[in-house]
């Protein structure tokens, strides 16, 4: 039976980043991807900051960047709007097909073997090796990296999933460089509707929410906005927080498979991609030094960077999930009548939402009327956020 150092199950962004790191260290790594083409189907909005992209070791080349975003227009259920500037945060929209292919190409150049059309049907940890079965082959590896996306998250985690769909549409109502977000907890419970422009007249229109029918809603939205649909994808989004353990003996879990998507927005390219990067380095160290304990460095480091961040985001999600539409309207009024947004502009960070959340808590300390208004949205959770903020080390 064929034995390699590492098998990566799943050739999405996180699996490919992991494979790149492992191959770069000179070890033998094989990526098994069930789909027939890397990067297809594109189940993603593609929003990421340039800072996050470079942290993953990539540059915003023309090939992988579809558009640059300057800000967002956020709508309340009754149609009030607030505009958020994001020029300083340098947010871009990725062409996910090209992005994934670019990652595959880099991994391959370092020596990774990538096989498409190979569905991993069984994974068995046996003493010092992991046995991996696909339809046509049986092979073994010293370490198996599970990067199979949300299909790998345990069934018991259903409460963290939101129903979601995203259409590529031609339309004329949105601006070329502004994302639109529509908040309405009756339409999209616990989430929102988004419009991510790709160019003049073309955008990704998506919606997610708990227990909703995203296709029915998007079909209605498209009709109301006289848009033309050129592509549809349906895929759940996970916002339930990171898994308790990323490492199970010689099986290492990364990306969506480890719940590494932001509990606020479900974004996972950066947080899961960093999982892949850190896992790849720890796997390499562990095999090169013949030290199984070196694997732990992956989990320790990921939690050091994102552990508190995810706790804060989960608390913020709790506040949002509890909000009725009336509460969202009140929140819009509070924001419109204060200077919250201007003060957030310099501080807010696209990747680390806790920075913006803590900034709002700091403003509450200074402004009792703002504090009173925000406490109405969920006093216990805001107090919990204060407690967490005290524990977060100041840089």
Q: CB-wise, 142 or 262, nearer to ligand FAD?
A: 262
The residues in 311-350 that bind ligand FAD, with binding defined as CB under 6 A, are: none
- 103 is a contact residue toward ligand FAD (CB under 6 A): no
Q: Out of 4, 25, 28, 43, name the contact with ligand FAD by CB under 6 A.
A: 43
In the complex, the smallest distance separating the C-beta of residue 258 from ligand FAD, rounded to whole angstroms, is 8
Asked if 214 touches ligand FAD (CB under 6 A), the answer is no
Chain positions 151 to 180 lying near ligand FAD, rule: CB under 6 A, are 151, 164, 166
**Count of Cβ atoms closer than 10 Å to residue 373 Cβ:** 18
Cα 392 → chain centroid: 22
- Alpha-carbon distance of 296 to 298, in angstroms, equals 5
Q: Which is nearer to ligand FAD, 164 or 247 (CB)?
A: 164
Residue from 5, 6, 27, 33 touching ligand FAD (CB under 6 A): that is 33
Judged by CB, which is closer to ligand FAD: 116, or 392?
Answer: 116
Q: Which residues of 37-65 are buried (b: 16+ CB within 10 A; e: fewer)?
A: ebbeebbbbbbbbbebbebbebebeeebb
Which of 45, 214, 263, 378 contacts ligand FAD by CB under 6 A?
45
d(CA 172, CA 200): 8
Of 12-20, 330-338, 365-373, 376-384, the window that binds ligand FAD (rule: CB under 6 A) is 12-20
The SS3 of residue 142 is strand
The minimum distance between CB 391 and ligand FAD, in angstroms, equals: 26
The stretch near ligand FAD (CB under 6 A) out of 20-28, 108-116, 147-155, 314-322 is 147-155
Residues near 256 by beta carbon (within 8 Å), at least 6 away in sequence: 12, 14, 149, 150, 152, 153, 238, 268, 272
Q: 136 φ, ψ to 5°?
A: -100, -20
Minimal distance, residue 358 CB to ligand FAD, in Å: 22
Distance CA 216, CA 213 (A): 6
Query: Binder to ligand FAD among 86, 149, 316, 344 (CB under 6 A)?
Result: 149
For residues 8 and 31, the answer to whether their CB atoms sit within 8 Å is: yes
The pair of structure tokens assigned to 104 is 């595959």
Q: Which of residues 252-271 bind ligand FAD (CB under 6 A)?
A: 255-257, 261, 266-270
- CB-nearer residue toward ligand FAD: 67 or 166: 166
Binding track over 269-288 against ligand FAD, x by CB under 6 A: xx-x----------------
* Rounded distance between C-alpha atoms, residue 175 and residue 186, angstroms: 26
Beta strands in the chain (DSSP E): 2-9, 29-33, 47-49, 65-69, 71-75, 81-85, 91-94, 113-116, 120-126, 129-134, 138-146, 161-170, 178-182, 193-199, 202-209, 228-234, 237-238, 247-248, 251-253
- The binding track of 106-145 with respect to ligand FAD, each residue x by CB under 6 A or -, is -------------xx-------------------------
- Residue 32 and residue 134 in contact, taking contact as beta carbons nearer than 8 Å: yes
Distance CA(118)–CA(113), nearest Å, equals 12
Q: Which is nearer to ligand FAD, 44 or 385 (CB)?
A: 44
* Number of shown-chain residues binding ligand FAD (CB under 6 A): 38
Is residue 175 within 8 A of residue 191, CB to CB? The reply is no
CB of 317 to ligand FAD, least distance (A): 15
Rounded least distance, CB 228 to ligand FAD, Å: 19
**Shorter beta-carbon distance to ligand FAD: residue 34 or 177:** 34
CA gap 108, 101 in Å, rounded = 10
Which of 39-47, 76-84, 374-382, 383-391 is the region at the interface with ligand FAD (rule: CB under 6 A)?
39-47
Asked whether position 240 contacts ligand FAD by CB under 6 A, the answer is: no
Positive or negative, the Cα torsion across 321, 323, 325, 331?
negative
Smallest separation (angstroms) from ligand FAD to the CB of 265: 7
Binding site for ligand FAD (CB under 6 A): 9-15, 32-35, 43-48, 119-120, 147-149, 151, 164, 166, 206, 235, 237, 255-257, 261, 266-270, 272
């Amino acid at each position: 039976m064929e034995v390699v150092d590492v098998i990566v199950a799943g050739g999405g962004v996180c699996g490919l980043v992991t494979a790149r790191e492992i191959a770069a260290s000179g070890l033998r790594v094989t990526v098994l991807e069930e789909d027939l083409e890397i990067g297809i189907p594109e189940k993603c909005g593609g929003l990421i900051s340039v800072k996050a992209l470079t942290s993953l070791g990539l540059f915003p080349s023309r090939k992988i960047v579809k558009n640059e975003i300057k800000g967002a227009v956020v709508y309340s259920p009754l149609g009030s709007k607030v505009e958020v500037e994001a020029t300083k945060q340098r947010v871009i929209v990725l062409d996910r097909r090209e992005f994934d292919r670019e990652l595959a190409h880099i991994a391959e150049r370092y020596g990774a073997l990538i096989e498409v059309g190979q569905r991993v049907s069984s994974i068995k940890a046996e003493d010092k090796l992991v046995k991996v079965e696909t339809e046509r082959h049986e092979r073994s590896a010293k370490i198996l990296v599970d990067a199979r996306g949300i299909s790998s998250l345990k069934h018991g985690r259903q409460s963290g999933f939101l129903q979601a769909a995203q259409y590529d549409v031609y339309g004329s109502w949105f601006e070329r460089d502004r994302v639109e977000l529509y908040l309405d907890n009756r339409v999209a419970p616990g989430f929102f509707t988004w419009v991510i422009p790709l160019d003049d007249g073309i955008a990704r229109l998506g919606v997610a929410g708990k227990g909703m029918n995203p296709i029915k809603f998007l079909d209605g939205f498209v009709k109301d906005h006289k848009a033309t649909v050129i592509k549809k994808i349906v895929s759940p989004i996970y916002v339930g927080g990171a898994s308790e353990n990323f490492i199970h003996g010689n099986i290492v879990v990364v990306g969506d498979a480890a719940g590494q998507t932001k509990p606020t927005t479900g974004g996972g390219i950066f947080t899961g991609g960093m999982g892949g990067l850190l896992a790849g380095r720890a796997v390499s160290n562990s095999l090169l030094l013949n030290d199984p304990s070196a694997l732990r460095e992956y989990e320790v480091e990921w939690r050091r960077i994102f552990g508190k961040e995810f706790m804060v985001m989960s608390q913020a999600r709790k506040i949002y999930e509890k909000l009725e539409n009336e509460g969202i309207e009140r929140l819009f009024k509070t924001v419109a009548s204060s200077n919250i947004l201007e003060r957030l502009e310099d501080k807010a960070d696209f990747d680390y939402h806790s920075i913006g959340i803590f900034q709002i808590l700091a403003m509450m300390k200074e402004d009792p009327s703002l504090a009173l208004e925000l406490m109405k949205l969920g006093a216990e959770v805001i107090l919990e956020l204060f407690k967490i903020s005290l524990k977060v080390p100041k840089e």
